[in-house]
C-alpha cells in the first residue's frame, strides 16, 4: 500500500460521499481511516475546524473552509470538493499552507444539464402553475411559450454548458454562447455560435448560467445586464446563486420585462425571505440539480479517486 495513503485520516463532510457505501469501502481498502463525523454534511464551522486539526484529507461539500481553519489544520494535505465549484474554499490560504485542492468537475454534468431543461420546460410551459391548479380542484389552461426553435444563450461552456448545448439540438434551438475560450471543434459539431455577452443577452429567449462566482466581481446578472436582456426572456440558474441579483430579477419579473425564471441556487441557502418567493412564474428548487442516483455515485467515486491520487502524490508532505 502507498505510504502516502496508508493510515491517512480522511474527513468527509459531503453528504453525497458519506452516503456511498462503495466510496467508503474504497477508502478503507486503500488503508485510509475515515474520521468520525457524527454531524455528516450538517457539520458546523467549529466542529469542522476541530476535526481538521488531525486530518490529512478532506472531502468537502458546501461547507466553507476559510483561512482561520487552514491555520489550525497543520496536518491537512489535500481537499477534494464533491462538486464542481471551489468557491467555498479559500484557495489563497490553501496555497499558502501547501494544501492541494481539486474538485469533481464534470462528474455531475449530465444530471445538471438534464435539470436545466427540466427547469426550462417547467417555466416555459408553466408546469408548476398547472400542477397547483389541478391539486386545488380547478381546471384551468395556462398559456406558455414554445421551446422548440427558440434561441438559447449559454454563459459558460464548461462541462455542464456543453452538455446543455448538446441537449438543445434536440429542440432545434439556436444556441449562442459566451466563454473565455472556445473549443472550435465542439462549436462546429453542435452548431454553437460564440458571441459577445451583450448580443447573447439581447437575442436569447432563454439564458442559462454555467460559470463560477467570483466575489470580487459581484452578481453577474445584475440590474444593468437584466435590463439589456430580450423582453420576455427566461433565466435559468443551476450554477451559483450569487451570480444573480435576486431583487433585480424579482423586479424584472413583476414588471413583466422578463417572462420567468428557473432557479436551483440562491444568494443564501436556504433562501429565506428572498423576493423571488413571491415573484410571478418562478420555479424554485433546493440546489437539487445534481441529485440523481447515478450522478451521486459518480461524484462520490470520483471524489475518492482524486483523494487517493492526491494523498499518494503528497506523501511525506506536512503543512506544519
Residues labelled as active-site residues: 240, 269, 287
The number of C-alpha atoms within 13 Å of 165 and in the hemisphere containing its C-beta is: 26
- Provide DSSP, 213-253: --GGG--SB-HHHHHTSPTT-EEEE-S-GGGB-HHHHHHHH
- How far, in Å, CA of 228 to CA of 71, rounded? 44
Q: Can you state the percent helix, strand and coil of the chain, rounding each to 5?
A: 40, 15, 45
- CB distance 70 to 90 below 8 Å: yes
Helix residue ranges per DSSP H, 85-183: 91-96, 109-124, 127-135, 159-168
Q: Looking at the DSSP assignment, which residues form a beta bridge with residue 236? A: 208, 262
Question: What is the arrangement of strands in the sheet containing 78-81, beginning at the earlier edge strand?
Answer: 33-34, 9-12, 57-60, 78-81, 100-103
277 close to 267: Cβ distance less than 8 angstroms: no
The Cα–Cα gap between 12 and 57 comes to 9
CA distance linking residue 160 with residue 204, whole number of Å: 18
- Coil, helix or strand for 196? coil
Cα–Cα distance between 103 and 106 in angstroms, integer?
9
Amino acid at each position: 500500500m502507498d505510504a502516502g495513503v496508508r493510515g491517512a485520516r480522511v474527513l468527509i463532510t459531503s453528504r453525497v460521499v458519506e452516503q456511498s457505501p462503495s466510496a467508503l469501502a474504497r477508502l478503507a481498502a486503500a488503508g485510509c481511516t475515515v474520521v468520525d463525523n457524527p454531524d455528516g454534511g450538517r457539520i458546523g464551522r467549529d466542529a469542522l475546524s476541530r476535526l481538521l486539526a488531525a486530518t490529512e484529507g478532506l472531502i468537502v461539500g458546501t461547507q466553507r473552509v476559510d483561512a482561520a481553519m487552514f491555520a489550525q489544520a497543520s496536518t491537512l494535505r489535500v481537499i477534494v470538493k464533491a462538486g464542481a465549484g471551489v468557491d467555498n474554499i479559500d484557495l489563497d490560504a490553501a496555497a499558502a499552507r501547501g494544501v492541494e485542492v481539486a474538485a469533481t468537475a464534470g462528474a455531475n454534468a449530465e444530471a445538471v444539464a438534464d435539470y436545466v431543461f427540466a427547469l426550462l420546460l417547467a417555466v416555459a410551459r408553466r408546469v408548476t402553475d398547472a400542477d397547483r391548479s389541478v391539486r386545488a380542484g380547478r381546471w384551468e389552461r395556462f398559456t406558455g411559450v414554445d421551446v422548440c426553435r427558440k434561441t438559447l444563450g449559454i454563459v459558460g461552456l464548461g462541462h455542464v454548458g456543453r452538455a446543455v448545448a448538446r441537449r438543445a439540438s434536440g429542440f432545434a434551438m439556436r444556441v449562442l454562447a459566451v466563454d473565455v475560450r472556445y473549443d472550435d471543434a465542439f462549436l462546429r459539431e453542435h452548431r454553437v455560435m460564440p458571441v459577445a455577452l451583450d448580443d447573447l443577452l439581447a437575442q436569447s429567449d432563454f439564458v442559462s448560467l454555467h460559470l463560477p462566482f467570483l466575489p470580487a466581481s459581484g452578481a453577474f446578472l445584475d440590474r444593468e445586464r437584466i435590463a439589456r436582456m430580450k423582453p420576455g426572456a427566461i433565466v435559468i440558474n443551476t450554477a451559483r446563486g450569487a451570480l444573480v441579483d435576486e431583487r433585480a430579477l424579482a423586479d424584472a419579473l413583476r414588471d413583466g420585462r422578463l417572462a420567468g425564471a428557473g432557479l436551483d441556487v440562491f444568494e443564501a441557502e436556504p433562501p429565506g425571505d428572498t423576493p423571488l418567493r413571491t415573484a410571478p412564474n418562478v420555479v424554485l428548487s433546493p440546489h437539487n440539480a445534481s441529485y440523481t442516483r447515478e450522478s451521486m455515485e459518480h461524484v462520490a467515486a470520483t471524489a475518492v479517486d482524486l483523494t487517493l491520487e492526491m494523498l499518494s502524490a503528497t506523501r511525506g508532505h506536512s503543512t506544519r
